[in-house]
């Protein structure tokens, strides 16, 4: 075999330090210090403090939504949402999503009914749910993926004609718009994640948005066992409060969102330019929105054309210190806890199953430069050119 220059085959890695896939926003140190000094001076750590209140007001204004209710993270936000909406029995949810979407249903004592997604947009659609509806389904959890959105107006019409509640996991969609309306205003409510990997970061954090006053009052009372605002009766309460330290970072990240979005858009276009030359690599563009946050770079690896499977390519990139990952994996309807004995084993969701075998995420965000994008795409291109030798290499190492 020729000497191939890949870290997996013994060459030095292309990057000295691991290049993350997520945004990983870090404010500059002086700003961080002064924000933390404020918290020290006020001697106020949590319980709906001044920074959380300021952040909620900014979100409401920016999103044009009546209520932005900040929480510890999106997972707890989704669990609180199920309780606030008083959902019962079964909820339709795509099997192609991050596991937290579905785990929130488990925590709320609800049963997920998995639907497939569209092969081109990766989003759920009415066509994928009509045939799985039964009398025990009370709601639909839409998931807006990759800085794009599902066909919300069709889902809304379908939901209301079948008397189903509709709400959204919009963890990927902060700042995105459909026409003049920002994501955050659709369905009964929407949940954003401000996890460190997301474009708007509170380190950990999230937010439930709604235009419904009663629902908002319920959510605020569920969020804290201390209660807050108008005391409406709720059965369960939790601790989903966002701390002042989280809100301090979130406020800085919010201020820099336009700059970070622009930078990601720029990097995304570079990826598009370089990747479109490589056979078998399909970059997924955010669909269904008029403005995207370009939070993630996701592509499909078509093994038949590219020569190597997604898993092999991810292995090759990881060795170069590029933290590419399979995303999402595994298909959620294959997990033992959602298998219901044999019931789901026979459940075929072909698009989800294909995407879970072929999609990978590449780095974008604050730590990624133009040069890094060029280098990453160069490695993928070389992997394609060397596919025959790499196939023999992988055969030799039996993986």
Ligand X SMILES: *Cc1c(COP(=O)(O)O)cnc(C)c1O
Smallest distance, ligand X to C-beta of residue 265, A: 19
Q: Which residues in this chain contact ligand X in the complex, by CB under 6 A?
A: 73-75, 97-98, 100-101, 143, 169, 171-172, 193, 195, 206
Nearer to ligand X, 23 or 386 (CB): 23
* Closest distance to ligand X from the beta carbon of 191 (Å): 8
CB of 33 to ligand X, least distance (A): 26
* Min separation Cβ 144 and ligand X, Å: 8
Instruction: Quote the distance between the C-alpha of residue 264 and its chain's center.
Output: 15
Q: Which is nearer to ligand X, 98 or 306 (CB)?
A: 98
Looking at the Cβ atoms of 101 and 125, the one nearer to ligand X is 101
Smallest separation, CB 171 to ligand X (Å): 3
Residues 98 and 104 sit within 8 Å (Cβ to Cβ): no
Nearer to ligand X, 100 or 251 (CB): 100
Which residues fall within 8 angstroms of residue 216, CB to CB, at 6 or more apart? 66, 67, 69, 210
**Residue listed under structure tokens 């569920």:** 222
Nearer to ligand X, 217 or 355 (CB): 355
Nearest distance from residue 273's CB to ligand X, in Å? 26
Measured between alpha carbons, how far apart are the two ends of the chain, in Å?
18
Residue with smaller CB distance to ligand X, 74 or 298? 74
Q: Are 21 and 362 contacting, i.e. CB atoms less than 8 angstroms apart?
A: yes
Question: Could you tell me the smallest distance in angstroms from the CB atom of residue 10 to ligand X?
Answer: 35
DSSP 203: S
- In the bound state with ligand X, the residue whose beta carbon lies nearer, of 267 and 332, is 332
Report phi then psi at 301, rounded to 5. -110, 110
Please give the Cα distance from 250 to 75 (Å, whole number): 17
> What tokens were used for 70?
């900040």
**56: closest CA among 241, 215, 199?**
241
Q: Say what angle helices 74-84 and 213-223 make with each other, to 10 degrees.
A: 120
What is the chain's percent helix, strand, coil content, to nearest 5?
40, 15, 45
Question: Residue with structure tokens 């994640």?
Answer: 193
Query: Are β-strands 206-210 and 190-193 bridged in parallel, bridged antiparallel, or unpaired?
Result: antiparallel
């Amino acid at each position: 075999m020729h000497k191939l220059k890949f870290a997996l085959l013994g060459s030095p890695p292309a990057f000295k330090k691991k290049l993350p896939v997520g945004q990983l926003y870090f404010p500059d140190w002086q700003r961080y210090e002064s924000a933390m000094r404020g918290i020290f001076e006020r001697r106020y750590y949590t319980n709906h403090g001044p920074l959380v209140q300021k952040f909620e007001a900014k979100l409401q204004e920016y999103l044009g939504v009546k209520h932005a209710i900040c929480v510890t993270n999106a997972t707890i936000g989704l669990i609180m949402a199920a309780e606030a909406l008083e959902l019962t029995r079964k909820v339709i949810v795509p099997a192609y999503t991050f596991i937290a979407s579905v785990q929130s249903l488990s925590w709320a004592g609800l049963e997920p009914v998995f639907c497939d997604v569209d092969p081109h947009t990766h989003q759920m659609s009415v066509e994928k749910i009509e045939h799985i509806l039964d009398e025990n389904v009370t709601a639909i959890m839409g998931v807006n993926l990759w800085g794009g959105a599902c066909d919300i107006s069709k889902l809304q019409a379908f939901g209301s004609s079948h008397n189903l509640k509709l709400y959204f996991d919009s963890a990927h969609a902060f700042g995105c718009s459909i026409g003049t309306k920002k994501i955050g205003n659709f369905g009964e409510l929407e949940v954003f994640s401000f996890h460190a990997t997301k474009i708007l970061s509170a380190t950990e954090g999230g937010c439930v948005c709604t235009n419904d006053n009663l629902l908002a009052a319920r959510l605020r009372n569920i969020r804290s066992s201390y209660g807050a605002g108008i005391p409406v009766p709720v059965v369960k309460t939790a601790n989903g409060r966002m701390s002042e330290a989280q809100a301090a970072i979130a406020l800085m990240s919010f201020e820099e969102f336009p700059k970070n979005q622009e930078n990601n858009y720029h990097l995304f276009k570079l990826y598009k330019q370089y990747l479109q030359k490589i056979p078998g690599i399909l970059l997924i563009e955010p669909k269904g929105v008029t403005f995207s946050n370009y939070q993630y770079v996701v592509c499909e690896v078509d093994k038949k054309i590219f020569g190597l499977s997604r898993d092999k390519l991810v292995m090759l990139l990881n060795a170069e210190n590029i933290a590419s990952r399979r995303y999402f994996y595994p298909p959620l309807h294959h997990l033992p806890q959602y298998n219901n004995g044999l019931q789901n084993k026979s459940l075929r969701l072909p698009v989800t199953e294909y995407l879970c075998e072929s999609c990978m995420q590449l780095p974008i965000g604050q730590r990624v430069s133009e040069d890094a994008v060029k280098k990453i795409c160069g490695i993928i291109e070389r992997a394609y050119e060397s596919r025959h030798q790499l196939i023999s290499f992988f055969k030799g190492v039996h993986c």
